[in-house]
Structure 1
């Protein structure tokens, strides 16, 4: 089986690619989600899968899911199996952008915020953790996870 890091690299991603986007694309929250893609286009589910399984995004450190090839999956957060049934793309997008909109005490990072954050590493100060394209790729992948 291909490792998460190898899949990440094979998908054309680099470990530092998530720090390139300093400016946030504008978005509008409607109800409990962000209905419009941050990039104006759908994401790529294959790249999203590689991102979810890459330890650098931290998803798999807290979440588990239908990833039999990945050892040491987390158990602090909901299992991602069936995520596409439980949440719409709009809801998934907002959870990735800023999970604190749903739970102010969440330990999930705000992956697409660059202000009002605490305990931010020097390399990430003033930058989102993920780019708009990476958010859309992860949304596209999570939406495919159906029971």
Structure 2
């Protein structure tokens, strides 16, 4: 039944992540943002950063040198085996497209945000390159 419910949402999911002009197809953004290739080492640094990605506030990841990793969200270990590049790209860009109740930040969207600080108005949290770098790191996590 859950699969049918997701299929019923697919017309809603298709379209663009408005502010970024990114084409969503089903449950994924199949094309790299701005045609960019990601760098897994830079992505790992963003995921581990307590100032930039803040991923470890909610997620745990196979980054043993980082203490106090989160347990609110799924572990990032094995993310590259669980989801396709396009699916992960959409989750990062704007996971609310898949789960409107998600607490995960929309890293590449300006749409529907609330209480945005003046310095961040009209900007995305990640640049296209940063998102593709984080994606490259997540795709490297197969176990």
Alignment TM class, shorter chain as reference: 0.7 to 0.9
Residues 29-72 of structure 1 show CA distances to partners (whole Å, capped at 9, x for unaligned) of 11110000002132011100000000121111110011111001
**Does the 8 Å contact 1:115/1:126 carry over to 2?**
no
Output the TM-score relative to the length of structure 2. Answer: 0.83
Write the distance in 2 (CA, Å) between the matches of 1:27 and 1:103.
18
- Segments of 5+ residues of structure 1 without an aligned counterpart are 1-23
Higher RCO structure, 1 or 2 (CA under 8 Å, sep 6+): 1
1:142 correspondence with 2:138: yes
**Does the 8 Å contact 2:58/2:73 carry over to 1?**
yes
Equivalent residue pairs, number: 124
Structure richer in strand, relative to its length: 2
- Segments of 5+ residues of structure 2 without an aligned counterpart are 1-18
List, as ranges, runs of 4+ consecutive aligned residues in structure 1 with deviation greater than 6 Å: none
**Does the 8 Å contact 1:63/1:75 carry over to 2?**
yes
Measured on the aligned residues, the alpha-carbon RMSD in Å equals 1.1
1:42 correspondence with 2:58: no
Output the TM-score relative to the length of structure 1. Answer: 0.80
Write the distance in 2 (CA, Å) between the matches of 1:40 and 1:94.
15
Mapping for residues 73-92 of structure 1, pairs under 5 Å: 73-92=69-88
